[in-house]
Amino acid sequence: MTPTRWLAEYAWLPDRAEPTADVLIEAEDGRITAVTPLGGTGTPTAGVEVLGDATRLPGLTLPGLANAHSHAFHRALRGRTHGGRGDFWTWRDVMYEVAARLDPDSYLALARAAYAEMALAGVTCVGEFHYLHHGPDGTPYADPNAMGAALVEAATQAGIRLTLLDACYLTATVDGEPLTGPQRRFGDGDALRWADRASALADTVERTGGTGQAGGTGRALVGAAVHSVRAVPAEQLATVAGWADRRGAPLHLHLSEQPAENDACRAAHGRTPARLLADHGVLGPGTVAVHATHPTSADVTLLGDTGTGVCLCPTTERDLADGIGPARRLAEAGVALSLGSDSHAVVDLFEEARAVELDERLRTRRRGHFAPAELLAAATVAGHAALGWRDAGRIAVGDRADLVTVRLDSARTAGVPPVGAFFAATAADVASVVVDGRQVVADGRHLRVDVPRELRTAIGAVTR
Ligand SMILES: [Zn+2]
């Protein structure tokens, strides 16, 4: 098979502080086979007609962006929760109303549209933190994994890779209050029954072609999640952690998004959520804590010492009035930072990335906390690693051929040096997206999904 060849006007290669001009990228069977800088770091050369069969990629080509934290159905809430005052907890009530209306068909339609919007934004891989497991009253569907299967199918149809983080969600509060009302569909009863259902889903996904193992060709992977310390009793945490460990699967959890969660955990267990999780074997190199907006100094050290990653979701944390997480302190402690659009108030990884820097500026009234290459790493290689894809997120030989090309000639990006793209570009500037060697977006259009139309229809079906 002849390799596919692209000629990037600029490409951001691994371990480079800034993009390189004129890079020939070759791929075969979805993997990068050669990366050849043709002209050094100067102005792109004109004399490259010899590369007649290469597809030209004008602008800046980045590795695929990883959206490490998503709740696909929250896309239906965008613009619908801003009428009154309130906080995270009042927003959650509105979110539960949508959750109560979804079934496997409407979930598939909504997730397919939401993932296609992500593809347009340059996302080549999404981590879906999934807890809508059962029917609205908690009764399992005939296939107990019908909802999870809908998400796998949605990502396939939208053309992006998926890590389905199947969440264990058993209780409503840190002190073990039972799930009620719309929360009933989240619960499996206990962690062992969660593990049985998650194993069945993971086995099915592996059998049908998805596997994240390096060298594989799969496009879906099942990982685990502890929804939060509110949702899994302390004595059952080790069951979820053990499942992830045995399967070599990533393990995600919501951590200290709200001060109220810290207070409740201290009252019930005499320690912070991070400490509680560490004491039950949940933290470690395969684990990613989402948010970590309100950790103590000791928690920050603990996350770093255990090798736990943190996924920041700045536009959601902004939207929900959560606060500003200690991004620089986490990085200094050795924590790998990744990014997620979480509630999808905004789907724009450029905005998430620059917010990591800009929020630090607001807090400290100083500039220059994160180098552009650090923001790139959070949006790409660290995000893929957080989702269990160790062979993606770099334009490097052997990695998956995920290429995201950003225009440098739009009203927003014209005149901007390529290294400044993370402070200028938006999702709307993504012109071309290749996932595993396959073109998914061209000329800023999704090749298979009419994204605005499908979003409108799918959201209309589950909202009032
Ligand atoms: Zn979340």
Q: Which residues contact 446 (CB under 8 A, 6 or more apart)?
A: 116, 119, 120, 158, 159, 440
Catalytic residues: 291, 342
The pLDDT of residue 190 is: 98
**Cβ(156)–Cβ(149) below 8 Å:** no
Q: Which residues contact 355 (CB under 8 A, 6 or more apart)?
A: 314, 315, 318
The pLDDT of residue 217 is: 57
CA of 310 to the centre of ligand 1 (A): 12
Sign of the C-alpha dihedral computed for residues 322, 298, 372 and 312 taken in this order: negative
pLDDT band at 83 (very low <50, low <70, confident <90, very high): low
The pLDDT of residue 272 is: 98
Long-range Cβ pairs for the range 19-27 (8 Å, 24+): 19/60, 19/418, 19/419, 19/421, 21/45, 22/48, 23/61, 23/395, 24/51, 24/54, 25/61, 25/395, 25/401, 25/403, 27/3, 27/401, 27/437
Query: What average pLDDT does this structure show over 152-174?
Result: 97
The pLDDT of residue 215 is: 45
| 3 state DSSP class of 39 | coil
pLDDT digits (tens, 9 = 90+) for 124-147: 999 999 999 999 999 999 999 999
Give the pair of three-digit tokens for residue 110. 């909504």
**Cβ(317)–Cβ(293) below 8 Å:** yes
CA of 132 to the centre of ligand 1 (A): 13
The pLDDT of residue 92 is: 84
Radius of gyration of the chain (CA): 21
pLDDT band at 47 (very low <50, low <70, confident <90, very high): very low
Give the least confident one: 91-100, 107-116, 133-142, 299-308.
Answer: 91-100
pLDDT digits (tens, 9 = 90+) for 175-194: 999 999 999 999 999 999 99
Nearest to 186 by CA among 165, 204, 172: 172
CA of 226 to the centre of ligand 1 (A): 11
Query: What average pLDDT does this structure show over 285-295?
Result: 98
pLDDT band at 52 (very low <50, low <70, confident <90, very high): confident
Inter-CA distances, 280 with 69, 70, 229, 246, 336, Å: 23, 26, 11, 16, 22
CA of 288 to the centre of ligand 1 (A): 12
The pLDDT of residue 209 is: 65
| 3 state DSSP class of 155 | helix
Give the pair of three-digit tokens for residue 386. 């957080």
Give the pair of three-digit tokens for residue 349. 């990884």
pLDDT band at 218 (very low <50, low <70, confident <90, very high): confident
pLDDT band at 434 (very low <50, low <70, confident <90, very high): very high
**What percent of the chain has pLDDT above 70?**
95
Which residues in 227-336 belong to E strands, given as ranges?
Answer: 251-255, 287-291, 309-312
The pLDDT of residue 212 is: 46
The pLDDT of residue 58 is: 98
Query: What average pLDDT does this structure show over 391-395?
Result: 98
pLDDT digits (tens, 9 = 90+) for 252-275: 999 999 999 999 999 999 999 999
pLDDT band at 45 (very low <50, low <70, confident <90, very high): low
CA of 129 to the centre of ligand 1 (A): 7
